[in-house]
Amino acid sequence: MSTLADNICAIASRIDSAARAAGRDPASVQLLAVSKTKPASAIREAYAAGLRDVGENYLQEALTKQQALSDLPLIWHFIGPIQSNKTKAIAEHFDWVHSVDRLKIAQRLSEQRPANMAPLNICLQVNVSGEASKSGCAPAELPALAKAVSALPGLRLRGLMAIPEPTEERSEQEAAFATLHQLQQQLELGLDTLSMGMSHDLEAAVAQGATWVRIGTALFGARDYGQP
Ligand SMILES: *Cc1c(COP(=O)(O)O)cnc(C)c1O
């Protein structure tokens, strides 16, 4: 069985090779540790091994872990679907949100961001795989959404996020990530962030400009949804 430290090394080496192959500085790619379904103790271990950024999908689960880990200076990222009634707690308890895909949610996050906190870092989630995926705004809606979100005072629009339809075909993986990169550049808003790439497709994402790769399985092992 591999330890968490071994897994971090293996991921760092995958990022390193992919970045070098693409002529990129490996340091321009950051690792977001996706810890959904994993216990707070796993995050504590990841912190001890040097990780600082943690991604969670479910609000209640995240809040429980944040409480258990309040002694650590972790940076918390919300990466799951967002319901309106969850925006207040998300605005109060996270540093980043990667999964904003409509204006109403962005407006609520902005209004509910406490005045004594820095603006909430935002990525707009885009549906780059057409009908196959339910989450994310349509590429055609993105320019208007990005413009409106960039004007909200409680938020800082940083970039785009996508979860393309899973495929083992490297060229298809790269095509989806290239689309997201292109959309980001077409916005001409000076955005510095592309949140794309997971355990199975991080090489393709890094090749196409990812600045955050969101890694769960390759870091913490397979998730067991059967556990209570
Ligand atoms: C679960 C999840 C990940 C991590 O996926 P792995 O395949 O386990 O690396 C990344 N991003 C989002 C939005 C997720 O929900």
Sign of CA dihedral 181, 186, 192, 195: negative
What is the pTM (predicted TM-score) of this model? 0.96
pLDDT digits over 86-139, tens only?
999 999 999 999 999 999 999 999 999 999 999 999 999 999 988 666 789 999
On whether residue 19 sits in a domain, the answer given is: yes
On whether residue 226 sits in a domain, the answer given is: no
β-bridge pairing 30-34 and 212-215: parallel
Q: How far is the CA of 224 from the centre of ligand 1 (A)?
A: 14
Residue 228: per-residue pLDDT: 47
Position in ligand 1 atom list of the atom nearest CA 163 = 13
Structural domain for 46, as ranges = 4-220
31: enclosing H helix or E strand: strand 30-34
Best CA proximity match to 33, nearest among 17, 16, 49, 22? 49
CA distance 170 to 174: 6
User: On the CB side of 221, how many CA atoms lie within 13 Å of its CA?
Assistant: 13
On whether residue 51 sits in a domain, the answer given is: yes
* pLDDT tens digit at each of 228 positions of the chain: 569 999 999 999 999 999 999 999 999 999 999 999 999 999 999 999 999 999 999 999 999 999 999 999 999 999 999 999 999 999 999 999 999 999 999 999 999 999 999 999 999 999 998 866 678 999 999 999 999 999 999 999 999 999 999 999 999 999 999 999 999 999 999 999 999 999 999 999 999 999 999 999 999 999 987 654
Q: Is 214 in the pocket of ligand 1 (CB under 6 A)?
A: yes
78 bridge partner residues: 56, 97
Q: What is the CATH number of the domain that holds 155?
A: 3.20.20.10
* Amino acid identity for residue 79 in this structure: I
User: Which residue among 51, 57, 194, 198 is best mutated to probe the pocket of ligand 1, counting the most ligand atoms within 8 A of its Cβ?
Assistant: 198
Q: How far is the CA of 115 from the centre of ligand 1 (A)?
A: 31
The residue count for the chain: 228
Look at ligand 1, atom 12, and give the residue with the nearest C-alpha: 79
On whether residue 209 sits in a domain, the answer given is: yes
Q: How many domains does the chain have?
A: 1
Look at ligand 1, atom 13, and give the residue with the nearest C-alpha: 79
Q: How far is the CA of 90 from the centre of ligand 1 (A)?
A: 19
- The residue with tokens 């810890």 is 35
Q: Which two tokens stand for residue 134?
A: 């339910």
Look at ligand 1, atom 7, and give the residue with the nearest C-alpha: 199
On whether residue 194 sits in a domain, the answer given is: yes
